[in-house]
Amino acid sequence: MQARIISSFILGLAMVILFAVPSSAKKGKKEGASIPPKISAEQAIAAIKTALTKISTGKAFVKEGRRGEKKLEVPLVLDSKIVGRIALNPASGEILSKGIKFQSQQVSISPDQAVAAVQQTLPNFQVGAARLAKDGQWKVGLTLKGAEIATIGVNGQDGSISTDWKAAKDVERWGK
- Kindly report, residue by residue over 21-57, the tens digit of the pLDDT: 444 444 555 555 578 899 999 999 999 999 999 999 9
Domain assignment present for 7: no
Domain count of the chain? 1
Average per-residue pLDDT for the chain: 86
Residues of the domain holding 96: 41-174
Domain assignment present for 69: yes
Instruction: Report d(CA 158, CA 137) in Å as an integer.
Output: 10
Residue 27 in 3-state DSSP?
coil
Domain assignment present for 164: yes
Question: What is the per-residue pLDDT for 119?
Answer: 96
Measure the CA angle with vertex 15, ends 10 and 18; round to 5°. 125
Helices (H) and strands (E) in the chain, counts: 4, 7
Domain assignment present for 18: no
Domain assignment present for 6: no
Domain assignment present for 29: no
Question: What is the per-residue pLDDT for 148?
Answer: 97
Average confidence (pLDDT) over 53-67:
92
Least Cα distance to 104 among 89, 118, 86 occurs for 89
